[in-house]
Structure 1
Amino acid sequence: MAAAATAGGPGGRIRAVIFDIGGVVVESPFLAIAAYEREQGLPDNYLNVALTKRGAAGAFQQYERGEIGHGEFVRQWARELNEVEANNEAYRGYLRRRGLDGRIELPRETRVDGAALFARMMAATQTPNDCVVELIRWLRRCGYRVAALTNNFKDGAQASGLGDLLASLFDEVVESAVVGLRKPDPRFYLLACERLGIRPSEAVFLDDIGSNLRAAARLGMATVRVEIGKEPAAVAAVKRLVAARGAHAANL
């Protein structure tokens, strides 16, 4: 995660703002992962590396695209999280890329309960980030279109867990498990823009994950990174962007 909320992107009139859900509109599931790592004596970000090491073929990623059901996801994901040799090798690569201490002690075995970890991640997303919710309402009052672009799950295990509230906030909700695409696939972002009736250069996109933001920026979107505990900084960045470039700036 970056040290501060950042904004970027080309010029142009902003007509819409697109929000990630987990870690932006609601609290981050990474909080639950970090707590689980501490409890199990695992190095920081060890499970995040394990989650992403298989790329698009991983169980988590397949589940977000709606390709497997919850039961198969839990079985496959638990197996992946406990592949200690492969996960250790992936984590060594993570340390090398970041110039971190390669002498960090890695586990000799793991006993990660995938079902319990996933339940804790979903529980962490039950709490809204109030300042972001108020930002969405403010944007709509000012005349901006707003959408959710979320990697989520079928079988009732939604990443947000706040269905009625979220449904009331957005003009459009674009879900990975429904459309079979997930961030950072550019087609997913373009689908959100199509539903909003805008070009990518007319949008601001908020997310907590760097790769998702980079994909949006490549399409021409302005981007704002949301960090845990620094949500007000992201809100302020969005307000600066729409004040400077917004199509409805006169309404602010």
Structure 2
Amino acid sequence: MTRRFKAVIFDFGGVFTTSPVENFAVYEKKQGLPDRFIGGVIRARLHDGAFARFERGEIGMEEFDALFAKETRAAGHEIRGREFARFLEVDFKPDMIAALSAVKGAGLKTGCITNNFPSIESDGSPRRAERSAQLQAIFKDFDHIIESSKVGVRKPEPRIYEMMLEALALPASDCIFL
């Protein structure tokens, strides 16, 4: 018997975009920091650190800027949160955008769960405006989107997955997560 799923739930970063984690290494090299320094700082306070709190929308940019600087300084190399957040820009993957269209075309429900930050102020650049328009165009193709910064829960917390299942009105057994 063939299993027929009713919905596909996508992660966003690293699936529809290049991995933001890859940017950590680029930033570290550019700044002369030790390899994996940033990831180590984030993992040290995975659930209660500045990065996690910013992704859950518990703090804004000003507080993230100061707290991330404090955490990185304590680990040996200060990085301002505002500077780091601006460096996290990623590129979209056209193949995944096409895959989303194919999934929708097959009649499946679609969901997106993403760990993200509250909106970072625009620098007024045409590239930033273009990227914002691209993001909105992708988001409109999902039936449901859950953004960590808007709901106060982030992956891998089970509640964010439960929220998506509730939004789709489906049991986990009817969904596949990519």
- RMSD, aligned CA: 2.1
Q: Which structure 1 segments of 5+ residues have no match?
A: 1-10, 85-108, 207-252
Distance 2:102 2:135 in 1: 20
Q: How many matched pairs?
A: 168
What residue in structure 2 maps to residue 138 of structure 1? 102
* Corresponding position: 1:43 with 2:34: yes
Relative to 1, partners in 2 of residues 1:113 and 1:70: Cα closer, same or farther, differing over 3 Å?
closer
| 1:149–1:174 CA contact under 8 A, matched in 2 | yes
1:120 alignment counterpart = 87
Between structure 1 and structure 2, the one with the greater Rg is 1
Q: 1:148 aligns with which of 94, 99, 112?
A: 112
SS at match of 1:82: helix
Gaps of 5+ in 2: 122-130
On the 8 A contact 1:16/1:204 being kept in 2, the answer is yes
Relative to the length of structure 2, the TM-score reads 0.85
Within 2, Cα distance between the matches of 1:63 and 1:74?
Answer: 10
Contact 1:12 1:201 in 2 (8 A): no
Distance apart, 1:163 and its partner CA:
3.4
Matches within 5 A, 1:79-94: 79-84=70-75
Q: What are the residue-to-residue correspondences of 1:165-204 with 2, within 5 Å?
A: 165-204=137-176
Does the C-alpha gap of structure 1 residues 12 and 194 become closer, same or farther in structure 2, counting only changes over 3 Å?
farther
CA shift at 1:45, angstroms? 1.8
Q: Percent of pairs identical after alignment?
A: 34
Checking the alignment, whether the CA contact within 8 Å between 1:78 and 1:115 is kept in structure 2 is no
List per-residue Cα deviations over 1:76-115 (Å, max 9, x = no partner): 011111212xxxxxxxxxxxxxxxxxxxxxxxx4243432
2:57 counterpart letter in structure 1: G
TM-score normalised over the length of structure 1: 0.62
